[in-house]
Structure 1
Amino acid sequence: MEQGANEQHPAMMKIALLSISTVLTSSIAIAASIPDWLKAFPQQSRANVELLGTLPSLTVIICMLLSSWVAKKIGTRRTILMGLLIAGTFGIIPVFFSNYYVLFFARLGLGAGFGLINSLAVSLIGTFFTGQEKANLMGYRGSCEMLGNALCTYVAGQLLVHVGWHSSFWVYALSFPLAILYFLYVPEPAPSKEADGTPHKESINSKVFFWTLILIICQMAYTGSTLRISELVTSYHIGSLNGIAIVLSFAPACGVISEIFFGRLLHGMGTFLLPVTIFCTGLSQLLIAFSNNFVLTSIGFLATSMISGLVISYILNLASDICETNSLNLTTSLMLVGCNIGPFLSPIVLGWLNSAFGANNLRLSYDVFGVILLGMGIVMVFLSKSMSASYAKNENENGGLTHVDE
């Protein structure tokens, strides 16, 4: 059945549609297990072991780019159901095996499942809903991602502490009930076409590539912070594994708080919101780098989590303003790809930093990313001034009309 909304179960349709986003950012929910992985795989380098944490990002990127093609072949509904089943199956494989290469393969499969779902979870809201309802559901979707990540991270952390690192992978079994919920309540959307009946033809401009690059750098810094925080705290005796596991589970909740106030902050600060958030993220990284106190280290990490959410929301919010005609879906997909390239490259860059500086200092990455983000924040101040001038110019030329809904 093809339709624009589910008239029989509108509330459940929305819940089922939003619920699939709860697992999409959970690939590093098991980050607190990394110190145990290092012990379990002593023959592997730190970089190789840390790569397991972000490896799903590689196949997320590949399958995200393929998801539209797959959906055209088998349907959007089947693509999402297949993605959930793949993610659930490969996600729990590490529960039963202790071989590095089996985990490597399983993490690739997890990412493939998430990749088939990721961009469709965003675009389907625009397909089924319009106006303020669409805007509200977009915000709720972002909150679902962060709340789901918080829940998965907390459960994975508790399973790690009380059972063992293998058991933390049970969190990915959540994909199975989500598949059932989606199957029961979300219909197949009608295909999107131009007025003359031909499919959309999409393109990308240089502005989209620029903002995607900014997303890559910011996500690389945030993921690097998440990957190293557990080992930093335990190796330098700043706190306990259980303590930092709890902090990691609260980090996504901080992102939810920032998402709630994003609209108000954007209205009050305008284009200056981005440089301020990037600059503050740099300060948070440096706080972690120089802190020997668990409370201050936790504050720095939680602040990084909260502020990074604002950066992502700001840039994704630009998509409709900078994309070419009829190219919003492709623009959004490319930006989401950037959000996954950053995490994938993060452990590689962390290993390169240690090699380049000839050090095994866990604080080094926080120093480097902190300085880079501070510099980016300062540069963005000048970019924001030009963006503000353009905004004011467009507002005057269009009689106060600065945004046009698609």
Structure 2
Amino acid sequence: MQKTSNSLTKFSILLVSVITASAPAINANIPALAKAFPTVPLSQVELLTTIPSFFLMLSILFSSWVAQRIGLKQTVQLGVAITAIAGLTPVFTNSFDLILVSRAAFGLGVGLFNSLLVTIISSFYEDQERSKLIGFQSIFEGLGGVLVTFIAGQLMNFGWHVSFWAYLITIPALVFFTLFVPKISTTKPVVKTENNLPKTPLFNSRLISLLILTFVVVSFYMIMGIKVPTLIVDSGYGTTTSASYVILDLSLGSMAGGAIFGKLYDWVKNYVIVLGFSSLAISMALIALSNTISVTILGGFLTGLGFRLYIPWALNIVNMGGNGNPWATSLILMSYNLAGSMAPYTALLLQSVLKINQLRNIFWMNTIAYLVITILVVLFLVGFSKFRNRVTDNT
């Protein structure tokens, strides 16, 4: 494990995390973009907000390969540079196809460094400091969502082109990372295990379960993100600008979730995800019932809070050990982004299968899904706790 005490190094690593959650910040643009491109189906317009996730997933597949050849730091720098160029491209074009390509490139760039950030944190820090910094990473991801969403929402008053200037945030992230993060060794670490987590094979039941759970959780989370602006505008109680405030509060909730994750995990351990899923279920019910922007904003905040209790928990579980587990981290993030990229079509499929005709009913579907997940997780954790106690008593 490499050692570093420079607080600017921590800040620079975390600042890059600002970019990783910024792709959904233009979700509130969907109604405006749909009007700007009336011949393009709505599902394809919505794809602008989710296609970064698909290419992020593909990029994760070879990010470690690239890092082994040019270095971890250089790979992050390359990824951030790509996101800067791709993020600003829509400012200068009226071509839907080019905008779609730029959004794909944005995801490609993020994918080059997304999984490596957790590896870098695990290379510099361990134990409680590692889990604390992973929690702070969620705060900075949420902060990025807040800043980019807020700026994009305000700039949207001047047109959807102008709103993409919000991605200038990528420039200081690149500068700080370049200046203050030292070169990082790419040699394969010897992973040491913690008391309750012995060394496991490349694939194991815990990892497979996390991959499936992540896919399901993210699918319903992303469906909320792409559908809530349309719900607000179509229901007549808000505009695209006010819809951006819901996405903004979703990011604020993410920040809050990241801020409290470390303490909550210390207090309740794995039961932290029960709190997360409960928050998600409540938030979806609030949005389904809402007829005012304030209630929907509250639902957005609780959505971000619950979701950011789950993600750092999953990443912390697979990175327990002295130097992290980049393979497992990459798989979790691939599951995350596969679910995110498929969200518009997952929504269409569920609407068709469940015969959902009203937009509000999509949020009732999400409510039921998260309630079921919460109950199943509680049953699993209680059952596992009893099993562990029996084993302890017999030894």
Query: Could you state the TM-score of these two structures normalised by the residue count of structure 1?
Result: 0.87
Given the superposition, is the C-alpha separation of residues 251 and 327 from structure 1 closer, same or farther in structure 2, using an over 3 Å criterion?
A: closer
The equivalent residue for 2:15 is 19
| C-alpha contact 1:89 1:173 (8 A) present in aligned 2 | no
Cα deviation digits, residues 305-353 of structure 1 (max 9, x gap) = 21111122332232246x9x98722112211222212211211112223
Q: Do structure 1's residue 304 and structure 2's residue 282 form an aligned pair?
A: no
Taking the aligned partners of 1:327 and 1:16, their CA distance within structure 2 comes to 19
Partner of 1:67: 63
Q: What SS does the aligned partner of 2:68 have?
A: helix
Distance across 2 between alignment mates of 1:68 and 1:390: 38
Amino acid at match of 1:89: I
2:342 to 345, 359, 373: 345
Alignment of 1:1-400 (within 5 A): 4-5=2-3, 10-161=6-157, 163-193=158-188, 203-320=202-319, 328-356=325-353, 360-392=357-389
Contact 2:51 2:104 in 1 (8 A): yes
> What are structure 2's unaligned runs of at least 5 residues?
191-199
Deviation at 1:27, TM superposition (A): 0.7
Q: Secondary structure at the match of 1:28?
A: helix
CA spacing shift, 1:207–1:78, aligned 2, 3 Å: same
4+ runs of 1 displaced by more than 6 Å?
394-398
The CA distance in 2 between the partners of 1:392 and 1:215, in whole Å, is 28
Secondary structure, aligned partner of 2:25: coil
- Which amino acid is 1:118 matched to? N
Report the Cα distance in structure 1 between the residues aligned to 2:100 and 2:23, rounded to whole angstroms: 13
CA deviations over 1:364-397 (Å, ceiling 9, x no partner): 3212222122122222221111222244457668
AA matched with 1:263: G
Distance 2:221 2:156 in 1: 22
Relative to structure 1, is the Cα distance of residues 129 and 41 closer, same or farther in structure 2, using a 3 angstrom cutoff? same
The answer (yes or no) to whether the contact 2:71–2:185 under 8 Å persists in 1 is: no
User: Take 2:233 and 2:53, find their aligned partners in 1: how far apart are those partners?
Assistant: 26
Asked if 1 retains the 8 angstrom alpha-carbon contact of 2:134 and 2:312, the reply is no
Q: Structure 1 residues 370, 19: closer, same or farther in 2, change over 3 A?
A: same
Aligned counterparts of 2:324 and 2:172: Cα–Cα separation in 1: 33
Residues in 2 aligned to 1:17 and 1:317: alpha-carbon distance in whole angstroms? 17
Summarize the Cα distance change of 1:266–1:121 in structure 2 as closer, same or farther, 3 Å threshold.
Answer: closer
Counterparts of 1:259 and 1:212 in 2: how far apart (Å)?
21
Q: How far, CA to CA, are the matches of 1:173 and 1:383 in structure 2? A: 45
1:280/1:73 CA distance change after superposition, 3 Å = same
Q: Report the Cα offset of residue 268 of structure 1.
A: 4.1
Cα 1:296–1:62 change in 2 (3 A) is same
User: Compared with structure 1, are the counterparts of its residues 349 and 389 closer, same or farther at alpha carbon in structure 2 (3 Å cutoff)?
Assistant: same
Alpha-carbon distance change, 129 to 44 in structure 1, aligned in 2, over 3 angstroms: same
The answer on whether the counterparts of 1:202 and 1:330 sit within 8 Å (CA) in structure 2 is: no
* 8 Å CA contact 1:6, 1:185 repeated in 2: no
CA pair 133-294 structure 1, distance change in 2 beyond 3 A: closer
Supply the distance in 1 between the matched residues of 2:183 and 2:267 (Cα, whole angstroms): 40
Amino acid at match of 1:4: Q
Q: Report the alpha carbon displacement of residue 203 of structure 1 after superposing the two structures with TM.
A: 1.4
Contact 1:271–1:388 (Cα < 8 Å) also in 2: no
**Aligned partner of 2:284: which letter?**
Q
In the alignment, is the contact (CA less than 8 A) between 1:6 and 1:186 conserved in 2?
Answer: no
For residues 13 and 275 of structure 2, the distance between their equivalents in structure 1, rounded to whole angstroms, comes to 33
* Residue 51 (structure 1) shift: 0.9
User: Partners in 2 of 1:216 and 1:21 — Cα distance?
Assistant: 21
What amino acid does structure 2 have at the position aligned with 1:110? F
How many residue pairs are counted as aligned between the two chains? 387
When residues 394 and 270 of structure 1 are mapped into structure 2, their CA distance, relative to the original with a 3 A threshold, is farther
Shift of 1:115: 0.3
Q: Is the 8 A contact 1:87 1:110 kept in 2?
A: yes
Q: CA RMSD in A?
A: 2.6
**1:4 partner SS:** coil
Separation in 2, partners of 1:166, 1:397: 66
The 3-state SS of whatever aligns with 1:32 is helix
Residues 138 and 65 (structure 1 numbering): CA distance in 2 closer, same or farther, change over 3 Å? same
Name the CA distance, whole Å, in 2 between partners of 1:320 and 1:121: 12
Distance in 1 between residues matched to 2:312 and 2:189, nearest whole Å: 29
Q: Is the 8 A contact 1:275 1:384 kept in 2?
A: no
Distance change in 2, residues 1:290/1:203 (3 Å): same
